[in-house]
Amino acid sequence: MKNYFSSKVLPTPIETAEMLAKDFIRFTEEMKRFRENLYIALSGGSTPNLLFDILAEEYPNAINWERLHFFWVDERCVPHSHIESNYGTAIQRCFSKVKIPKENLHPIMGGENTLEEVTRYTGEILSVVPYSAGYPAFDLILLGMGDDGHTASIFPGQEHLFETNSIVAIAENPISGQKRITLTGKVLNNSAEIVFMVTGNKKRNILYQIITKDPLAINYPASKIAPIKGNLSWYVDLEATGNLSTLVL
Ligand code: 6PG
């Protein structure tokens, strides 16, 4: 199977986002030959914002948005109008500026009824996303990594979310206590392409431990991202790689 993404180290966050945007556009173009629609799951946090801005402002017409279905890897349990909403941010920075049908956006509802939302979102994923090896199989999942090595909303100490057979689960930010809803590890690792976008020197040590397969890396949920059949790529800047940039990612 062809890999559409490959690990790259770029000098700055903006150049990292630019490179990922170009590879993403090429991915959607080339996949046209094989698939009517593509199913993509997006993470939140601040790192993807540069990517959203670039896609919306520099390449709004370079993509057949109507063929793309976007889900969310995770969401904070806040209203979509809240500044911390991953969906709200993606709408504001990207999807409100491109021609994508509303029915192609599949947000997690961040309200209070977390258990109900886990059931609802699970059903939406099962009814839309193709299945493979017993789990929904996204074509692409975009992940970030927190300063503590979390990914999605799977935080250190919550590694059971990589073992559960559930597709969606309730999680909690251990520092703020903020409730989250997240895709689980088995769904994440079932994706055809998994792309990490990591920038900034705060993540350097953890990134180094994960990439060099340091035994201590098992403490970081991001180290448990290992696609079953798919391809894993890292799009990182020099700040995040330090001396790692001399290594092949
Ligand atoms: C979230 C994200 C989370 C994020 C990391 C990195 O909802 O916060 O999905 O997994 O990717 O926390 O966040 P930054 O990009 O802000 O460093």
The CATH number that applies at residue 121 is: 3.40.50.1360
Total domains present in the chain = 1
What is the average pLDDT value for the chain, to the nearest integer? Answer: 95
Flag whether 247 is in a domain.
no
Q: Percentage of residues in the chain with pLDDT exceeding 90?
A: 92
Q: Is residue 3 part of a domain?
A: no
Two structure tokens written together for 134: 């017993």
Residue 248 lies in a domain: no
| DSSP helix/strand/coil, 72 | strand
Kindly state if the Cβ of 168 falls inside 6 Å of ligand 1. no
Q: Tell me, what's the pLDDT at 2?
A: 79
Residue 28: per-residue pLDDT: 97
Q: How far is the CA of 149 from the centre of ligand 1 (A)?
A: 10
Give domain status of residue 2, yes or no.
no
CB distance 110 to ligand 1 below 6 Å: no
Tell me the residue range of the domain where 59 lies.
8-241
CA of 34 to the centre of ligand 1 (A): 31
What is the model's pLDDT at position 248?
A: 58
Q: Quick: pLDDT tens for 130-189.
A: 999 999 999 999 999 999 999 999 999 999 999 999 999 999 999 999 999 999 999 999
18 domain residue, yes or no:
yes
Q: Which two tokens stand for residue 100?
A: 């994508």
Q: Is 19 helix (H, G, I), strand (E, B) or coil?
A: helix
How many Cα atoms sit within 13 Å of 26 on the Cβ side? Answer: 11
Q: Considering the domain boundaries, does residue 122 fall inside one?
A: yes
**pLDDT tens column, 200-225:** 999 999 999 999 999 999 999 999 99
Span 233-244, pLDDT tens digits:
999 999 999 866
Whose C-alpha lies nearest to ligand 1, atom 15? 47
Residue 40 lies in a domain: yes
Between CA 246 and CA 42 the distance in angstroms is 29
Q: Ligand 1 mean position to 206 CA, how many Å? A: 15
At residue 182, the pLDDT reads 98
CA-based torsion, 208, 210, 214, 215: positive or negative: positive
Q: Is residue 193 part of a domain?
A: yes
131-132/135-136 β-pairing: antiparallel
Q: What is the DSSP string of 160-216?
A: GGGT-S-SEEEEE-TTT--EEEEE-HHHHTT-SEEEEEE-SGGGHHHHHHHHTT-GG
C-beta 189 within 6 A of ligand 1? no
44 lines ligand 1 (CB under 6 A): yes
